Amino acid sequence: MPSDARTATLRDAVGLGVAVGLYGIAFGAAAAGAGLDTWQALAMSALMFTGASQFAMIGVLGAGGGAFSAVGSALLLGTRNTVYGVRLAPMLAPRGWLRRAGAAHWVIDETTAMAVAAPDRELGRLAFWVTGATIYLGWNVTTLIGSLGAAALGETAQAALDAVVPAAFLALLWPRLQRSAREPAVQRRVALGGAVVALVLTPFVPAGVQVVLAVVAVALAGRPRTTAAA
């Protein structure tokens, strides 16, 4: 059983890396479209390494936004990685500043989702490091491909990539809504609330901000009731 679980963790991590790699092509292409040269697109994937923040930043730059709003939108979306880090710290327990500094760079949506979904702490750590390494490699390689190949990417391929992105987030969300999850009914209400708040705010706030506001709104709405229940 333990080796089965290990194999499943490795397979899922590599599968996720490949899938996210597709997304990296889209980022590279979009970065080129927003006026970033290949080195700047690569620097973002290597140094920022948090997809939603990267997309938010080039979205603002591509729309003609200023330096302040470009950085601000990336940071706003980056705040959720702080929450993820809080969640992961007890599992990873990175000893010493060097390990912590290294682990921190790979705290993103996908590594957190994979680590948290793992059946125990040991597999959670394995899932974090393997997923992080796979995605880091894939994300940087495909950013390069996307940036160089932006002009060659046809409209139909772009439409396919656009459809893959929300499907990937849905696939990550799915297990949280199933009966086997902790408090699935609350998870479903929270998910529905997050989606509705984000869509309602979309026309009124800068791109990317509605996602952060949706999470904050849902977290605040859930807090008093949950404290009373606890």
Partner 1 sequence: MSTGTLWAVVLVGSLGCYLLKLAGLSVPAAWVERPWVTRVVEFVPAALLAALVAVQAASSGPDLVVDGRLAGLAVAALALALRAPFIVVLVLAGAAGALVHVLTG
Mark the segment that binds partner 1 (CB under 8 A) among 1-9, 45-53, 124-132, 143-151: 45-53
- Decide: is 171 part of the binding site for partner 1 (CB under 8 A): yes
Q: Given candidates 2, 86, 121, 185, which one binds partner 1 under the rule CB under 8 A? A: 86
Stated as kind and residue range, the H or E segment containing 225 is helix 209-229
Q: How far is it, in rounded angstroms, from Cα 111 to Cα 102?
A: 14
Mark the segment that binds partner 1 (CB under 8 A) among 2-10, 58-66, 126-134, 137-145: 58-66
Q: How far is it, in rounded angstroms, from Cα 60 to Cα 208?
A: 9
Nearer to partner 1, 97 or 151 (CB): 97
- Residue pair 210/197 in contact (Cβ under 8 Å)? The answer is yes
Q: How far is CA 174 from the centre of its chain?
A: 15
88-127 positions binding partner 1, by CB under 8 A: 88-90, 92, 94, 100-101, 103-105, 107, 109, 112-113, 116
Least Cβ distance, residue 122 to partner 1 (angstroms): 19
- Decide: is 5 part of the binding site for partner 1 (CB under 8 A): no
190-229 positions binding partner 1, by CB under 8 A: 190-199, 202-204, 207, 210-211, 214-215, 218-219, 222-223, 226-227
Q: Which residues, at least 6 apart from 64, have a Cβ–Cβ distance to it below 8 Å?
A: none
Cβ atoms within 10 Å, residue 158: 15
Q: How far is it, in rounded angstroms, from Cα 78 to Cα 209?
A: 11
- Rg (alpha carbons) of the chain, rounded to whole number: 18
State whether residue 95 is helix, strand or coil.
coil
Nearer to partner 1, 148 or 187 (CB): 187
Q: x/- string (CB under 8 A) for partner 1, residues 122-161?
A: ---------------------------------xxx-xxx
Q: Given candidates 25, 29, 36, 118, which one binds partner 1 under the rule CB under 8 A? A: 36
